[in-house]
Copies of this chain bind each other. A is one copy, B any other.
Amino acid sequence: MVQLKAGPLGEEALRPLPEHKFTFGLWTVGNRGKDPFGSEVRAGLDPNDSVRKLAELGAYGISLHDDDLVPFGSSAQERDAIVRRFRATLQESGLVVAMATTNLFAHPVFKDGAFTSNDKQVRRFAIAKVMRAIDLGAELGAKTYVFWGGREGVESLAAKKPADALNRFREAIDFLSEYVIDQGYGMRFALEPKPNEPRGDIFLPTVGHALAFINTLAHPDMVGLNPEVAHETMSGLSFYHGVAQTLWQGKLFHIDLNGQKIGRYDQDLRFGSEDLKDSFFLVKLLEDSGYDGPRHFDAHAYRTENAEGVWDFAAGCMKTYLILKEKAARFDVDPDIQEALAAASVGELAEPSVGAYSRSAALTLRDATVDADALAARGYYNERLDQLVMELIMGVR
């Protein structure tokens, strides 16, 4: 049998450390396995236990919805006791709260949306709930606040005029921006797009739509994105390309890593367990880009798993990221890959095509005679390049 496995395995490089900035939502390891057809399969986790266990596994921090920590309907006194205890656990474990967000989807009050519910009282309640959750996030030190418009959509297209919905969405984000500025919290907002589920069609369905929306806000500088692998992949879009455009527009404020097959229900699978190729390029992009935010896993263990399986899942997310990170480093030094990149003229795409406009340059270019057939004759050697990448991913180079 051929030796395909790494020789000196370098286990060291694959051990998660806080410097890798891996974070998990409390709701991810705490997921109890409920799905549309079945009830919970696992006991709930005490958030304090989750923090301790994640610290042990090498994570950097956690994220949370308001209700993940403080159950909906808790009194102020209960809230404070919970928060006090949680802060102590964080301090002991060394974990940070890297991101906070609001649960605007679980309670029936949000069944028609939150910021875009047709009922004005619901919209006001949603904004109030976010303010309280922002306070909580600030108290816990979160510097990024995520907005996932879970139910901001429709099943029946007649039920909302999209322009009204976008106006209300903008109104809410603008109001909450002012609140954060007014309170001096120094937080940034990150919008998380999703195309559908649990609503039929959700507003701001992709990173593109959300990037475009930001541009209409009163405080566009403090608002960026939190793209999620599963959400873009549901639509069959390349997540790698989506994150790259987000970075290009200076808007990658946070990221949700997981796995997903195209054209399915929101699977939230273990990172790297689907589409290794897109995952590889994603990790390479994050590592090359200078992005220094959390590598946040928004996924959950299969419903087949008991408590032990949850930690297998969490460890697997981090390990796969680190494996792909090592491969990304190797990509840059593999001589065959570098040669194939040159044959494909990949670097040439960084060169300006025409430079700044001038009338004479334009007319000269326009009127030049070019032998298109001759230009068309060359090959780009993308098959060779792609095969080398697959071999790198498969560990045989």
A106 to B236 Cα, complex, angstroms: 25
Check if B375 sits within 8 Å of A35, measured CB to CB.
no
- Tell yes or no: A17 within 8 A of B by CB: no
Q: Give 7 A-B pairs besides A235-B237, A309-B381, A312-B387 with Cβ atoms closer than 8 angstroms.
A: A1-B333, A121-B375, A127-B365, A155-B382, A270-B386, A306-B378, A320-B390
Check if A368 sits within 8 Å of B38, measured CB to CB.
no
The 8 tightest CB contacts between A and B, nearest first, are A395-B395, A208-B208, A306-B379, A7-B7, A208-B209, A2-B10, A263-B263, A162-B244
Copies in the complex: 4
Whether A305 contacts B395 in the complex (CB less than 8 A), given A197-B265, A236-B261, A265-B265, comes out as: no
Q: Which of B40, B274, B323, B344 contacts A394 (CB 8 A)?
A: B323
Instruction: Provide the residues of chain B in CB contact with A127, threshold 8 Å.
Output: 353-354, 365
A267 to B382 Cα, complex, angstroms: 15
Pick from A47-55, A90-98, A111-119 the stretch touching chain B. Answer: A111-119
Check if B8 sits within 8 Å of A376, measured CB to CB.
no
- Tell yes or no: A384 within 8 A of B by CB: yes
Task: Please indicate which of the listed interface residues A248, A273, A390 has the most CB atoms of chain B within 10 Å of its own CB.
Answer: A390
Instruction: Provide the residues of chain B in CB contact with A378, threshold 8 Å.
Output: 119, 306
Q: Which of B106, B128, B162, B396 contacts A6 (CB 8 A)?
A: B396
Q: How far is the CB of A9 from chain B (nearest CB, A)?
A: 7
Instruction: Provide the residues of chain B in CB contact with A281, threshold 8 Å.
Output: 157-158
Instruction: Provide the residues of chain B in CB contact with A78, threshold 8 Å.
Output: none
Instruction: Provide the residues of chain B in CB contact with A276, threshold 8 Å.
Output: 276-277, 390, 393-394
CB-based nearest B residue for A203: B241
Q: Which of B119, B234, B244 contacts A345 (CB 8 A)?
A: B119
Q: How far is the CB of A116 from chain B (nearest CB, A)?
A: 7
Q: Which of B162, B245, B278 contacts A157 (CB 8 A)?
A: B278
- Tell yes or no: A366 within 8 A of B by CB: yes
Instruction: Provide the residues of chain B in CB contact with A275, threshold 8 Å.
Output: 275
Digitize A316-333: 1 where CB-to-B-CB distance is under 8 Å, 0 elsewhere.
100110011011011001
Q: Which of B33, B171, B267, B372 contacts A353 (CB 8 A)?
A: B171
Check if B348 sits within 8 Å of A150, measured CB to CB.
no
A124 to B348 Cα, complex, angstroms: 13
Q: How far is the CB of A181 from chain B (nearest CB, A)?
A: 9
Digitize A1-35: 1 where CB-to-B-CB distance is under 8 Å, 0 elsewhere.
11111111110111000000000000000000111
Q: Which of B13, B39, B110, B118 contacts A2 (CB 8 A)?
A: B13
Instruction: Provide the residues of chain B in CB contact with A178, threshold 8 Å.
Output: 357, 362
Instruction: Provide the residues of chain B in CB contact with A261, threshold 8 Å.
Output: 196, 200, 236, 262
> Can you name 22 A-B pairs with beta carbons within 8 Å?
A37-B105, A38-B151, A39-B107, A107-B376, A111-B376, A112-B304, A122-B375, A124-B353, A127-B354, A127-B365, A157-B240, A159-B380, A172-B353, A175-B354, A179-B362, A196-B236, A203-B241, A206-B237, A273-B390, A305-B383, A307-B379, A323-B394
Check if B9 sits within 8 Å of A155, measured CB to CB.
no
- Tell yes or no: A79 within 8 A of B by CB: no
Pick from A56-64, A81-89, A137-145, A210-218 the stretch touching chain B. Answer: A210-218
Instruction: Provide the residues of chain B in CB contact with A198, threshold 8 Å.
Output: 35-38, 265, 303
CB-based nearest B residue for A8: B3
A335 to B338 Cα, complex, angstroms: 36
Check if A341 sits within 8 Å of B5, measured CB to CB.
no
Interface members, chain A 338-356 (any B CB < 8 Å): 341, 344-346, 348-354
Check if A365 sits within 8 Å of B36, measured CB to CB.
no
Check if B373 sits within 8 Å of A109, measured CB to CB.
yes
